[in-house]
Amino acid sequence: MTTTTTTTTATRGRTRTLAISATGLTKSYGDKKVLDGIDLHIPEGTVFALLGPNGAGKTTTVQILSTLITADAGRAEIAGHDLTGAADGVRRSIGVTGQFAAVDNLLTARENLILMADLHHLGRREGRRRADDLLARFDLTEVAHSSVVTFSGGMRRKLDLAMTLVGDPRVIFLDEPTTGLDPRSRRIMWEIIRDLVTDRGVTILLTTQYLDEADELADRIAVLDHGTLIAEGTADELKRRIPGAHIRLRFADAHRLDAAADLFRATSRNDETLTLNIPCDPGIPTLRAILDALDTASIPAEELTVHTPDLDDVFLTLTGRPQVDRVPDSRKENPR
Amino acid sequence: MSTLSYAVSDSATMLRRNLRHALRYPSVTVSVVAMPIVMLLLFNYAFGNALGAGIADSPTGDAEYIDYVAPGIILMAATSGALATAISVCVDMTEGIVNRFRTMSVSRAAFLTGHVVGSVIQTLVSLALVIGTALAVGFRPNATALEWLAAMGLLTLLTLALTWISAGIGLVAKNVETASNIPMPMTFLPFLGSAIVPTDSMPTGLRWFAEYQPFTPIIETLRGLLLGTEIGNNAIIALAWCLGAALVGYVWARRVFNKAR
């Protein structure tokens, strides 16, 4: 029997039930500390994004919370079930879609869904009904009887998510749900994920490397780096902490740079690269205003680039170094 | 439903999955069946005259080499069938599907049980085909229905034991190539026993090995059941080997699968 959860938290004056609560999760592989004390408190019916580069510990966190691996220390409750004491209860409440599609390549799409239904002991009729519903909902009816080997990346990911939904999970883990997908499939996945929360009121913990994805989907975002959470908040709260969008101008010589710096006042300049950063909302009116100002003052610019904040900026700001120079650790991202 | 009936229904689901794989992509099954049939034909038609002449005073008591070699080849059908499990288990492990099963409330035993039972069924089919071929090319056993039953029971037990070991190998193998290579020595072991020629014809060191390795008592028991040759204590030794190996394989494979990573 499913026990109801009693853990609660006060958010914005309201008391909400926590779907996921974890404290002090720690995991090491040999000498390498992958998770160094993670705390997560995720209210029911919300989307929480774990944002970080490869090797930050995102997948490890999902693997621990979905009972795939055990943490060295710390405890967690998922939908009211203790992770170590009631792993089977946790498994009955969750659904997991990993970054590598977990589908049976030798079966058809429908057979994959029915396999899930059978493992959830749904009964023959109900299982088939749910499989057909999901195929229709995910736009896979036409390929229901095709072998999954023939599927594109986007179709596989959709089928993977459909398989996760067969058991009607209350808590869904999405480990990099759109990594490797083309922009269109990515949009479709985002739609599906949003609908899940509005239609079914499920709780979603998703991991991503992309700030825009977290921004698009999540109620709250936590930034994970080297196994520690270095920031947590809403997308807006996080964005306030990072340098906003700016326009970068490059000039031919220091004279022109000086002149432009005077013109735009109080902006950051780099004398080595002869560039000037102008923080602003980079819309067309702003662009036009800047170009007009340069024209009027007769200062020719060599180059103009528009820069919008991305994960690099978050990392640069929060850790003082860019994320790109880090080597992803493939071994622990996908342990067998 | 109780935990036990869930375990049974989950195992049945996994078994259906594996049998569906086998039916849809029969290449592994076909090659597993073809190997012993080719060996049978090779040893009967190509080497049969020479080898048969060399063992004219063999325990079978006549010069029909097919009667001597058929039980050995039948046993090889059991080993090669069982060892294909390593590949199918490893293929599953290298894809994400097993991790999905692990995050579901699926009976822990079901995944391996489905593989093992599926593999045993496939091996039994292949045994039937190999026995049929042997009969067609002149194998003339004199076993009663009961002896046939006992022989099939022994073969099933052997298949079960080798399949569990093979499933364990599939779990620990890093990739499919390794999974198909590790069990290879096991398929050659019957050659170094009494499968093809009697052990007395071998040089001392090899003969010692051949007489004490597990396949020899199993082959001798099979021969005794099918052709009425002397079994002696071979039956007990064969059963002990099979039961021991099945138990070790089962415990090992289950432990490897359940181990938290």
Does A103 contact chain B (CB < 8 Å)? Answer: yes
pLDDT, tens digit, 9 for 90 and up, residues A107-164: 999 999 999 999 999 999 999 999 999 999 898 999 999 999 999 888 998 999 999 9
Q: Is the pLDDT of residue B119 over 70?
A: yes
Q: Is the pLDDT of residue B55 over 80?
A: no
Alpha-carbon separation of residue A280 from A244, A267, A276, A298, B133 (angstroms): 7, 10, 13, 22, 83
The Cα B200–Cα B198 span in angstroms is: 6
Q: Is the pLDDT of residue A327 over 60?
A: no
Q: What angle do CA A68, A80, A225 make, to 5 degrees?
A: 50
Q: Which of A5-19, A33-47, B152-166, B239-253 has the lowest mean pLDDT?
A: A5-19
Rounded mean pLDDT, A79-95: 91
Segments making up each domain of chain B, as ranges: 3-259
Kindly tell me the number of DSSP H helices and DSSP E strands found in chain A.
12, 15
Query: What one-letter code names the amino acid at A146?
Result: S
| Interchain CB distance below 8 Å, B17 and A104 | yes
The CATH 3.40.50.300 portion of chain A extends over: 18-233
The Cα B212–Cα A125 span in angstroms is: 55
For the CA atoms of A226, A227, A230, A231, the dihedral, rounded to the nearest 10 degrees, stands at 130
Contacts of A117 (CB under 8 A, 6+ apart): A126, A127, A128, A130, A131, A166
Q: What is the pLDDT of residue A328?
A: 41
Does A168 contact chain B (CB < 8 Å)? Answer: no
The Cα A157–Cα A154 span in angstroms is: 5
Q: What's the CATH fold of domain A18-233?
A: Rossmann fold (3.40.50)
Q: What is the pLDDT of residue B56?
A: 58
Question: What residues of B are in contact with residue A111 (Cβ under 8 Å)?
Answer: 20
* C-beta of residue B87 within 8 angstroms of C-beta of residue B179: yes
B25 pLDDT band (50/70/90 cuts)?
A: confident
Q: What is the pLDDT of residue A272?
A: 86
Does B47 contact chain A (CB < 8 Å)? Answer: no
The CATH 3.30.70 portion of chain A extends over: 242-309
**Sign for the pseudo-dihedral over CA of A213, A215, A217, A220:** positive
Q: What is the pLDDT of residue A334?
A: 40
Higher pLDDT, B222 or A16: B222
Question: What residues of A are in contact with residue B95 (Cβ under 8 Å)?
Answer: 100, 102, 104-105
> Which ipTM was obtained for this model?
0.84
Number of Cβ pairs < 8 A linking chain A and chain B: 67
The domain A242-309 having CATH identifier 2.60.40: the answer here is no
End-to-end Cα spacing for chain B: 30
Q: What is the pLDDT of residue A330?
A: 37
Query: What one-letter code names the amino acid at B35?
Result: M
* C-beta of residue A217 within 8 angstroms of C-beta of residue A234: no
Does A70 contact chain B (CB < 8 Å)? Answer: yes
Q: What is the pLDDT of residue A322?
A: 57
Contacts of A129 (CB under 8 A, 6+ apart): none
pLDDT, tens digit, 9 for 90 and up, residues A239-280: 777 767 788 889 999 889 888 888 887 667 888 888 888 887
Contacts of A327 (CB under 8 A, 6+ apart): A55
Which of A69, A106, A163 lies closest to B21 in CB terms?
A: A106
Query: What one-letter code names the amino acid at A229?
Result: L
Question: What residues of B are in contact with residue A167 (Cβ under 8 Å)?
Answer: 104
The Cα B202–Cα B130 span in angstroms is: 27
* C-beta of residue A279 within 8 angstroms of C-beta of residue A192: no
Structure tokens at B9: 């229904």
The Cα A214–Cα A234 span in angstroms is: 10
Element (H, E) at B133: helix B110-136
Does A102 contact chain B (CB < 8 Å)? Answer: yes
Does B28 contact chain A (CB < 8 Å)? Answer: no
DSSP A227: T
Q: Is the pLDDT of residue B151 over 80?
A: yes
What global pTM score does this model have?
0.80
Higher pLDDT, B30 or B239: B239
Q: What angle do CA A263, A267, A268 make, to 5 degrees?
A: 130
Percentage of chain A lying above the pLDDT 70 cut = 87
Q: What angle do CA B147, B153, B157 make, to 5 degrees?
A: 150
Q: Pairing between strand A47-51 and A220-225?
A: parallel
A3 pLDDT band (50/70/90 cuts)?
A: very low
Q: What is the pLDDT of residue A229?
A: 92
Does B97 contact chain A (CB < 8 Å)? Answer: yes
* C-beta of residue A214 within 8 angstroms of C-beta of residue A241: no
